[in-house]
Amino acid sequence: MASTVKGPAIFLAQFAGDAKPFNSWDSICKWAGSLGYRGVQVPTWDARLFDLAKAASSKAYCDQIAGVARKHGVVITELSTHLQGQLVAVNPAYDEAFDAFAPPQVKGKPKARQAWAVEQLMLAAKASQNLGLAATVTFPGALAWPYVYPWPQRPEGLIDTAFEELAKRWKPILNAYDEAGVDVCYEIHPGEDVFDGATFEMFLAKLKNHPRCCINYDPSHFVLQQLDYLAFIGIYHERIKAFHVKDAEFNPDGRQGVYSGYQPWVDRAGRFRSLGDGQVDFAAIFSKMAQYGYDSWAVLEWECCLKHPEDGAREGAQFIADHIIRVTEKAFDDFAGGSVDKKQLKRFLGIR
């Protein structure tokens, strides 16, 4: 059934900071509302905006922060646990790099760090339930990513073992979200073991098609991989329960392509851009979302390598609003229809 996408909304992770209006929940919600946003996606690791443990234990706290948001004309769309989700599964090659996402007491302690991440996700399940949210967004983490390119030749069974372990770690978390009535929407993203449709299917199969294993759709990552982001919606629309609206461009030349030669973002063939400055066909995407009945939020995620974030945020609100399709409740040719006449139908078909 066709539905109208909700929005515009904005992911606050890239905007939160120590300066006003980005340093408190009240002021950042006021800022978002003033730009025309109707929803905010919350980074649960940022204590300047949100207390995850308190939200998990206190319905009153959740009502309070939801009330502050409503005062400024916005609602909470989803909680984000991208950083914590990443730490559910970390290949040792990335231990030191991903310690940056962890609190001091678990840095350098992979098992303790993983346990902390799982605890965080469990808290976010309860917090989402207390806030009355239908979905959350996250990363699945990665064990196999260092072996994404098949050279040297991978040992037989390596990837299967990695996905077995990934599913084993996520199954109890997904069960907790199921009890809370919340979908877990994994961002399909390079650097994660689940980085395209094929790997999502592998993960889902290991989870025996868990009903809460869903997708946070972000076309920008597909542009950089040269994956058909419109066909993706047609294949996986039943699992797409969250939507990051982020633009990108891919401009290969004689020096670099998909892998981009270790260049900084501004010099890469594949770059993230502010909405409308890249190559993503958002008119087609929003049409597909309307066609398949996506009825959740369209959330700006700003990660442009050129434009100032405040300009990207201001322009992004109107961009999303202009692309949302108010879905019709009637067919354009209803005027030409008539009542059902079974005898007439048989005459049309030559049935006696």
- Whether 64 has a pLDDT exceeding 90, the answer reads yes
Helices (H), the chain: 25-34, 52-57, 59-71, 82-86, 95-98, 110-131, 158-180, 197-206, 219-225, 229-236, 282-291, 309-323, 342-349
- Whether 336 has a pLDDT exceeding 70, the answer reads no
CATH superfamily entry for domain 6-349: Divalent-metal-dependent TIM barrel enzymes (3.20.20.150)
What pLDDT band is residue 332 in, cutting at 50, 70 and 90?
Answer: low
Q: Please tell me the predicted confidence (pLDDT) of residue 2.
A: 61
Q: Please tell me the predicted confidence (pLDDT) of residue 1.
A: 53
Encoding tokens for residue 352? 């006696």
The pLDDT tens digits of the residues spanning 266-322 come to 999 999 999 999 999 999 999 999 999 999 999 999 999 999 999 999 999 999 999
Q: Please tell me the predicted confidence (pLDDT) of residue 329.
A: 78
Q: Domain-by-domain residue ranges, the chain?
A: 6-349
Residue 56's closest CA among 148, 145, 182, 152?
182
Integer Rg of the chain from CA: 22
User: Cα(308)–Cα(234) distance, rounded to whole angstroms?
Assistant: 34
The predicted model gives 329-347 an average pLDDT of 78
User: Cα(268)–Cα(252) distance, rounded to whole angstroms?
Assistant: 9
Q: Please tell me the predicted confidence (pLDDT) of residue 84.
A: 98
User: Cα(143)–Cα(166) distance, rounded to whole angstroms?
Assistant: 8
- Site of tokens 């409503």: 70
Q: Please tell me the predicted confidence (pLDDT) of residue 340.
A: 85
- Whether 82 has a pLDDT exceeding 80, the answer reads yes
Q: Please tell me the predicted confidence (pLDDT) of residue 338.
A: 72
The length of the chain, given as a count of residues:
352
**142 — phi, psi (to 5°)?**
-155, 135
The predicted model gives 100-126 an average pLDDT of 98
Q: Please tell me the predicted confidence (pLDDT) of residue 72.
A: 98
Give the percent of the chain with pLDDT over 90: 94
Q: Please tell me the predicted confidence (pLDDT) of residue 334.
A: 66
What is the pTM for the complete model shown? Answer: 0.95
When the pLDDT of each residue in the chain is averaged and rounded to a whole number, the result is 96
